Amino acid sequence: MSTLHTVNKSPFATTTLASCLNHALEGDAILLIEDGVYGGVVGTELAKALAAAKGVSLYVLSGDLTARGIDTARLVKGMKPIDYAGFVALATEHDRAQAWL
């Protein structure tokens, strides 16, 4: 039993990603989409919190990342870019999806 969490807001503008991180359980996955992808960039205070999320898999939607001009080389370590097909696959692999709006 595990959850796919989606976060679509910039972590610099809202506290949404922080709240998601506070509630993700071991075995869960967090997928950053839309403006949420900015949270995946290295070198920020937030990146440290992401790195500290133990047992949670981190993903980012590549189309949203590329749209915003962010190279995958800048992603925090362990964060995996996926496409929409990968998003669908993640949704099937977890028992439920929770959108952090």
Residue among 1, 2, 5, 14 that touches a copy of itself (CB under 8 A): 14
Choose one: 11-19, 48-56, 62-70, 84-92; the region binding a copy of itself (CB under 8 A).
11-19
The answer to whether 98 contacts a copy of itself (rule: CB under 8 A) is: no
- Of 47, 52, 48, 39, residue with least CA distance to 7: 39
Which amino acid would we find at residue 21?
A: L
The binder of other proteins chosen from 7, 17, 24, 79 (CB under 8 A): 24
Q: Which amino acid is at 54?
A: K
Q: Do the beta carbons of residue 59 and residue 36 sit within 8 Å?
A: no
Contact 18, 83 (CB under 8 A): no
CA 88 – CA 50 distance, rounded (Å): 23
Query: Applying CB under 8 A, which of residues 1, 13, 52, 85 lies at the interface with a copy of itself?
Result: 13
51 near other proteins (CB under 8 A): no
Q: Shortest distance, CB of residue 77 to other proteins, whole angstroms?
A: 14
Q: Which residues bind a copy of itself (CB under 8 A)?
A: 12-16
